Amino acid sequence: MSMVELPGGGCATESEALTALAAEAKRRGISYGHLVANTTEHERTKIIQDYCTEKRRKGRRSGK
């Protein structure tokens, strides 16, 4: 898996990328393999970016 740059700077870790894709597969009710096989690199990058953005947003809220 290639490095995924995040909005606002930085890159997603391998762990974050795998977690994001696994969570999306679960949300869609399909397997991780099915998700990866049936999405483009661009779609997977967007899933990872959205996951990390939401994770950062939640982290800021709970930290205050």
Q: What is the mean pLDDT of residues 1-15?
A: 82
Residues ≥6 apart with Cβ < 8 Å to 6: 12, 49, 52, 53
Amino acid at 30: I
Position 63 scores a pLDDT of: 57
pLDDT score for 55: 86
* Residue 41 confidence (pLDDT): 94
Over residues 9-63, the pLDDT tens digits come to 888 899 999 999 999 999 999 999 999 999 999 999 999 999 998 888 887 766 5
Distance of alpha carbon 7 from alpha carbon 16, whole angstroms: 15
